[in-house]
Amino acid sequence: MDFEFALFAHSIPALLRGAMTTAWLAGVSIILALVIGVLGGLARVSGLRPLDAAMLAYVTLMRGVPLMVTLLFFYYGLPALGLLLDGRVVGVAALSLTSGAYVTEIVRAGIQAVDRGQMRAARALGMSGVLAMRRIVLPQALRSVLPPLTSEAITLLKNTALVSVIAIPDLLRAGTDIMNWSANTFSPFTGVALIYLCMTLPLVALNGWLERRWRQS
């Protein structure tokens, strides 16, 4: 074992700077993934076949292609088409588009889990389809989709580690840089693992609480 406490303590400031980048990437990507997922889920249940087919193709593609491949394609492939993007933009785009596909299916399943009679009753009372979806269906669907959405947020946070391959100075990249100049693996990556754990534990606790509330209700 090559653990050195002095090196571990010395690496913490650099790792925390990398963790801030990781938290930023995860936060922005989660917000964009939620926007994509809600719009995609609504498109999947809209009854408009071209829209449903387009979203199904998007979901199939993004869920079928590994995130690493998407990152590398955006970072190295798009410049060949004349589209140069900053590494952080590439990271956010790949993370949010991939996670958005999973959120789309979570939202779709949540909406379809609501009894169709709710929509028919709302329409019978004179509500438009959009109003009934916003006031009747979505609030009920929200209760069932929150736990899996939290799980997806945890997955996305951990997947940010992959952006280190495109030279983004995230938490994993910071740990790798320290490992390279110190010729010590165990000490910096102990810090990396502990910081990732501290970042994910609140989401894990939130997910457990939401699941308990959902079962009770």
* Average of per-residue pLDDT across 105-117: 89
Cα Rg, the chain, nearest whole Å = 21
Number of domains in the chain: 1
* Average of per-residue pLDDT across 90-97: 96
pTM of the model: 0.90
Site of tokens 């379809």: 112
- pLDDT of 142: 83
- pLDDT of 127: 80
By residue range, what is the domain housing residue 66? 5-216
- pLDDT of 152: 95
| pLDDT per residue as tens digits for the range 45-80 | 988 999 999 999 999 999 999 999 999 999 999 888
CATH number of the CATH domain containing 148: 1.10.3720.10
DSSP code per residue over 14-75: HHHHHHHHHHHHHHHHHHHHHHHHHHHHHHHTS--HHHHHHHHHHHHHHHHS-HHHHHHIII
Cβ distance 146 to 210 under 8 Å? yes
